[in-house]
Homo-oligomer: A and B are copies of this chain.
Amino acid sequence: MSKKNIKIIVSYNGKNYCGWQKQKESLGIQGELEYACKKAFNQKEVELIGSGRTDAGVHALGQVANFLVDTKIPVEKFPEILNNILPKDISVLAAEEVDIDFHSRYSAHRKTYRYYIYPSKIRSPFYKDISYQVKYKLDIDKMKNEIKYLEGRHDFCGFMSSGSSVKTTVREIYRAELYEEGDRIVVELEGNGFLYNMVRIIVGTIVDIGRGRIKESLKVIIQSKDRNRAGHTAPAQGLFLKNVEY
């Protein structure tokens, strides 16, 4: 029997996890999914390839991963079977068989991230693990205008945390939007790829601009390629990997 290549779409609340990747004493989202796959399909080993890692506390609405499996169970049944094994804060939304060459990371060509800001002096019992509470008054119109400077092809080396080795720090952002949704502010970024902590540094910078702590325009900060001129790194809990396109 030949192995099938299965693509899954996964949503998770990252609050209780060390991130996507396995750590010494913690399975991580990837480890939880591999455990569920091994158990569900009676496999000795399953290697799950994610579209990319997410850090501790970061969430996903539509993370993508793939794995090889040798089973007669029809793929339509995979989500239900896996969800019965997985913890309740991880959910497989869909599964399909894909070409054997499909690779969640290498084949990805577009990602969308969403970031939730909760602008309030008083904390919310509902948003504490899924939003970034900002206590300062924000100039939302200014933030809406400034965010547009991200669109296009730029060298984002000023918006990267150290600790990753990449061939190039040039990325293209297809869409950068900031809008109000209920009592929160949403930042949505769609691009061909993102550097380590890039979304969180962008959000931190736009918040610093919105509260007047940074006076420079985002346009100038991007051009400077200087991490010191960008703002703080916004916390993990506001960040959601929304979807990955192939």
Residues of chain A whose beta carbon lies under 8 Å from any beta carbon of chain B? 11-13, 59, 79-80, 83, 88-93, 122-126, 128, 130
Which of B11, B79, B126 interacts with A13 by CB under 8 Å?
B126
- Which single residue of chain B is at the shortest CB-CB distance from A90? B125
CB–CB B122/A12 < 8 A: no
Q: What's the Cα separation between A133 and B83 when bound, in Å?
A: 15
User: How many copies make up the complex?
Assistant: 2
A168 → chain B closest CB, angstroms: 34
Most buried by B among A12, A83, A92, A125: A125
Q: What's the Cα separation between A92 and B123 when bound, in Å?
A: 9
- Which single residue of chain B is at the shortest CB-CB distance from A12? B125
Chain B residues in 8 Å Cβ range of A80: 122
CB–CB A88/B11 < 8 A: no
Chain B residues in 8 Å Cβ range of A92: 122
CB–CB A88/B130 < 8 A: no
